[in-house]
Each structure stands twice: as C-alpha cells, then as structure tokens.
Amino acid sequence: MAANSSGGMHDAPLDNGFAGTDDLVSDWYIYETMEPDVPQDDTFSSVIPDCDPTISPKLYHVCMAPVSLAVLVGLSLLVKRRRLHRSCWNGVPGLLSPANFLEEGGNRGLVAAVFGILFSSLCVLVLDKDPLPLVAHSSQSTREYWKILALLYYPAFYYPLLACATVGHRISYLMGCLLSWCHCVVHIWQKVDCPQSPKIYRYYSTLSYIPIILCLVLLSLWYPALLIRSFTGQEETLSKEVTGRGYYKKYLKAILSKRPRKGSSAKIEESLLSRVQMYLRSYIYAPEEGFQIPLKLVLSITTAMIAVYQVALLLLVAVVPTIQIVRAGMTKDIVVLLVQFGLVPSESPAVPGDMEKELNTVKYYLWSLEVCYICSLVLCCLLTCAMLLRTLVMHRNNLKALYQGAVLDVFYKAHILRPSRQAIVCWMSFAAFQTAFACLGLLIQQVIFFICSVGFTFLVVIPLQSGTNTYLFKIIQNMWPFWLTLVVAVIVQNLAAHYQFLEHHSLRKELNNRRALYIVTYLLFPTNVLVGVLAGVWRMVISGLYNAIHFCQLDISLLNRSVETFDPGYHAYCHYLKIEVSQSHPVMQAFCLMLLQLARPEGPPGLRASNVEEGIQLMQPKKVPLSRARFKQSRARWWLAYTLLNNPSLTACRKTALSDPTANGTQLSTCKP
C-alpha cells in the first residue's frame, strides 16, 4: 500500500501534485465551514419536511396506557367474579396470566403477534431519541434511565392484548377487539400522516414499523374471529382448543397407531440423489401430523424472523444511501487523490482536469461495492432464515427423541430431565436469546460475506473485466508449479495407499509393503507440511464459516463436544429442553386432563363421560387377568427391566439413583430392541 502510494506520487509531476493538494485543502476547509460539526441526521432533515402527526405518540400513549390498565383491572375482576361463588378469596387473585406457555392453547398466532410487537418496539426504542413516549424531548443525561424504564413499560402497555385472549370470555374478546383496533388504527394513521422522518434514512421509521402494524392487523382480525366463534355455538371445539385437549388427543392417537415405517428396510438401496434430496428436505420444516412445536419455540422463531427483518433493514438503510451519496458527490479532485494512492488504475498522469475516465472507474467501483453489499445482505438473510427453519426441524427431532426417553440421541452425556433453578432461568430467557442470536448472527455473517464478496469482486471479477489490478492472477501464475506439486503429492499418496500399501482380502484390508510406506512417509514429510498448511487454512475457514452460519442456531454448540455446555446458547437450549419435556410432555398432559375430568364429572359441558371412557381405553388397552401373585411380580419385574433397558435415562430417576450424585455423569445408552 505504502509502496503504491509513493509510486503514484512519484509519477505525478510536482506542480500538478501541489496544485491538487492545495485545491483539496481549500475544498476541505470550505466544507468544514459550511457544515460545522453537524450530525448526519440533521443534514438529512433539511430536505425532509417537519411533520407532526395528528395523534402524536405522546398523546397516544397518554390515552391508551390508562385504558390498558383499566382493561386489565376489569378483566381481573371479571375472572374473580366468575370464580367468586366457589371459594371467596382463594380464587384467582391479582394479575392475569399473559399466556400459558407450558400448556397448549389455541391462540398461538395471537401470542406470537404480541411478542412480535414487543420486539419491534424494543428495536425502535433502542435507536430512538425519545425512548419513553410519555416523556417527550428527554435530555441526553436522562435518556438512559427512560430507556431502562421503557424496557418494562412496553410489555405492560401491550399486556391486555394477550390477557384478553387467555381469559377466554366473550367480554374479554370484545375488549381485545376494541383495543387491537385502537392500536392498529392509531399506528396506521401516524404512518400515513408522516411517512418520512429524519432518523437514519427518510423511510426507515415507516419501514421499521411495518412488523408492528402487520401484527396489529393480525390481532384485530383474530379477536373478532374469537368473538364470533364464541357466539355461534362452537363452544365445544373452542373449549377443546383453549385447553389444548385436541392436540394431546391427536398426539396420543399418532403414537398409539403403530404405522408401518416406510423405507426403513429399503434404506441401503437409496441412491445418492435421493440422499441429497433427503438432506435438503431436513432443512425444510413441514408440519407433521400429531406433533406440534411448543409455544415458546413458535415465539422464538417469530421474533427471530422479525429480528432478521429489523437488522437487515438497519444494515441496508445505514449504508446503501451513504454509498449512493458518495458516488453522486464524487469529484475529479478526489479521483486524483485515489489515483495518486494507487487505488485506481490510470494511464495518464494525475491531472485534475482530465480525469473523466478515472471518475467513471471510481463510480463503477463504488457501484460494485454497493452491489456486493446488497448481495451479501440478501445471502445472509436467506441463510439465517434457512437456519431458523432448520432449527425448527432439529427442535422437533430433539423433542420427539426426548419424549420417547432417548436422552443420548440429543445430549452427549446423560441428563436428568427435571426442573432446576438454571433450567427455569434458561427457559424464561430462551425466546429472547434466540432473537438476540439471530440479530448477532446476521451481523457477523454480513461482515464476513461482505469482505469475501468485495475480495472476490476486486480480485477476480473486475481484473477479468478490465485487465488491471491482476495481483491474484499474477500470484497464481507464479505459484502454479507449487500448487501442482502439492496436488500431485496428495494424488500419489492416495494412489500408493490404495494400490501398494493396502492388501485387499475378501472382508478385511491389511497393511502391506511396510518398508515402502515408511520410505514414502519420510521422503514426503516436507511436502506434507505444506499440504498441512493448506489443510490448516481450510480448518480455519471451515470452522469460521460454520460457526458464523450456525451462530443463530441454539441447538448446536459452537464448542467441542467435551466443553459444549460452556457455549451460553447451547447451555440455554439444553436447560430449556429439560423444562419443556418435564413440564409439558403431551402424554403427561393428556393423562392429567383425564384425571381432572374424572375428578369433576360435573365440569364444563365440553367434557363428556364418553371422552373419559375413551381415555381409559387408551391408557389400558387390555385387561390383565388377576392370577398367581408370583407370575404378576415376575412379569412386573420383567417389564421394569425391559423399560429400563430401553430407556436407560430412567435409571437416573429411580429412588436409589437419585440419592447418588455421581449417577449424573455416567454414560448410558439407548439400545433399541
């Protein structure tokens, strides 16, 4: 670089060089005096008309916050009144549950939409000058405190939108309708009033609000649907969906109907093409009958997708307009400087008046940069979304394995699946972690891919087009004997290993010609060191790329298997799975529901006696004849042994094992019968 710049300066005649420098310096000072220390925001604001929406954010929040609070209190009282006649103060006091994360409810889309609104609000408030809309025009010193307060304010503000659905009453549905319509109308009105804002890029504010508006539109359609269904007599199905009984029944049916496994016997005859197809299909999440992803995972994927949108939008509007402005404002004086530094090739000496061609080259380079940036951003978004879909597939596989007790199919070491302090904390923050990791993963990928694509463009594509700056091709041209040697050495070793050093028997292969093997090993040692350097570079590249691409996947540890739980993401995932499997196992939930039905046959009209009988039949497929006690005992023992053999992870949960803390780490296996 330094050699280039000095070379460029040396080429230019002295007079011109000085003239150029003087011009530049005076230009610089003029620029300085014209715009003294103005932040970029205000530069843009000069062309964007000032705009005050009819409903200002402050007015909106000042009105809606008390309304939300009133709705919340009202709903609490409503729930209380409905249960008051059963037990006076031991009913359900205090706050309403936002969503039953561990039980299957019907309104998964609704909950996901509210979490999407919440995350989008977080994105807006982090970059905003007035994080708390109730307090307009906050000063620099107090802004930090308002931001912290806003972190708690927004969840509380949108709380009623969730609670209205969880209560499951007509009045609450009506409230939900009104609230969501209000929010939706106000947001759309604000953005129609003022589509442009001076922040970062004129349309950034509008674009970043799109997820919020879409989620609100979803809510304002969902609540009316719930309300209408509650009136049109579909109460039974509704109750089924609210309590999740529909799903649990489906899951049980899917498990108990032993379908013949297709293709398990024809596995060997699979062609390469079909295996590639299967591999690609493992990246695409297709819903499976009888299995449903838990609510928390749905939330995490939804917010992660919104995170990808928000981060990609920010990356796009923060850089691309700037490059475009620089390209439009490129002058011949700056081109002279670039030519002098050797960054732009030029045949003629650096005269500022005669730089038309070089100016076009510079503009072309800037355009290439822009294209690289956008291409890598698109690639990153696609990759991150693909990985998020893939992570859903992995979650489903892991959950199914754990539901069946195959702990070692999921974890490297045996784990006891029961709640603990860490597990609860990880479960609470799982969706947030997934979202944050998607943001960071996209950022890391964008940095890596942008550098790679710029390198590829400026070292391969542009030299091929223009025939200048062919550094890379010169290096390759100089070094081709070296590369050829390495390739030949590797091929020779492979051929020798196959034809000389390996004796092919019918079933086994044996080592042969040992002395020749030792001689080749010794003679090729220096060559192999160079091959090893290439392998090392490949190791670096592949591990870096793999980790960058899979950064957003929590189900994969980025560390070696012996220390994999030191990865905070994987650690959170493992603990999340523990809570999810131990607390919301579908079979257990179905069993609990049946017990509840048995305990109160006078319950809601949805729970009929026929269902109970059906459940009992499901749980007890055939009657055991009460005969000799010894036979029963031996049979029970056999069943126990068989169960433990097939689910060795259960041994860790047995009473004797539980009192022994070392039982945790022992390696057990899942030997399928």
Contacts of its own copies in 475-514 (CB under 8 A): 478-479, 481-482, 485, 490, 493-494, 497-498, 501-502, 507-511, 514
Does position 546 interact with its own copies (CB under 8 A)? The reply is: yes
Q: Around Cβ 410, how many Cβ atoms within 10 Å?
A: 19
Q: How many helices (H) and strands (E) does the chain have?
A: 25, 2
- Phi (first) and psi of residue 550, to 5 degrees: -95, 15
Q: How many residues bind its own copies (CB under 8 A)?
A: 136
Among 66, 263, 349, 419, binds its own copies (CB under 8 A): 419
Interface stretch with its own copies, choices 329-337, 377-385, 589-597, 658-666 (CB under 8 A): 658-666
**Amino acid present at 323:** I
Does position 531 interact with its own copies (CB under 8 A)? The reply is: yes
Cβ 524 to its own copies, closest distance in Å?
A: 7
**Could you give the string, one character per residue 94-133, with x where binding to its own copies holds by CB under 8 A and - elsewhere?**
-x-xxxxxx------------x--xx-xx-----------
- Phi (first) and psi of residue 503, to 5 degrees: -100, 120
Please tell me the distance from the alpha carbon of residue 106 to that of residue 166, in angstroms, as a whole number.
Answer: 10
**Amino acid present at 614:** E
Please tell me the distance from the alpha carbon of residue 73 to that of residue 160, in angstroms, as a whole number.
Answer: 10
**Could you give the string, one character per residue 569-598, with x where binding to its own copies holds by CB under 8 A and - elsewhere?**
x--x------x---x---------------
**Amino acid present at 600:** R
* Interacting positions 229-288 with its own copies (CB under 8 A): 267-268
Cβ 605 to its own copies, closest distance in Å?
A: 25
* Interacting positions 43-102 with its own copies (CB under 8 A): 92, 95, 97-102
* Interacting positions 181-200 with its own copies (CB under 8 A): none
Cβ 536 to its own copies, closest distance in Å?
A: 4
Q: Which is nearer to its own copies, 62 or 540 (CB)?
A: 540
Q: Within the chain, what is the greatest distance between any pair of CA atoms? A: 114
> How many angstroms separate the Cα of 604 from the Cα of each of 239, 240, 594?
9, 11, 13
* Interacting positions 210-229 with its own copies (CB under 8 A): none
Interface stretch with its own copies, choices 221-229, 320-328, 454-462, 538-546 (CB under 8 A): 538-546
Among 324, 468, 643, 669, binds its own copies (CB under 8 A): 669
Q: Which is nearer to its own copies, 315 or 462 (CB)?
A: 315
Collapsed DSSP state (helix, strand, coil) of residue 329:
coil
Q: Which is nearer to its own copies, 481 or 605 (CB)?
A: 481
Angle between helices 332-340 and 2-11 (to 10 degrees): 120
Give the 3-state DSSP-derived string for 549-600, with helices as H, strands as E and coil as C: HCCCCCCCCCCCHHHHHHCHHHHHHHHHHHHHHHHCCHHHHHHHHHHHHHHC
Among 393, 472, 558, 588, binds its own copies (CB under 8 A): 558
Does position 208 interact with its own copies (CB under 8 A)? The reply is: no
Q: Write 189-196 long-range contacts (CB < 8 A, 24+).
A: 189/53, 189/54, 189/55, 190/53, 190/55, 190/57, 190/60, 193/51, 193/53, 193/54, 194/51, 194/52, 194/53, 196/48, 196/49, 196/51
Per the structure block, which two tokens stand in for 590? Answer: 């179905």
First and final CA of the chain: distance in angstroms? 67
* Interacting positions 139-168 with its own copies (CB under 8 A): 144-145, 147-148, 151-152, 154-156, 159, 162
* Interacting positions 22-41 with its own copies (CB under 8 A): 25, 28-29, 32
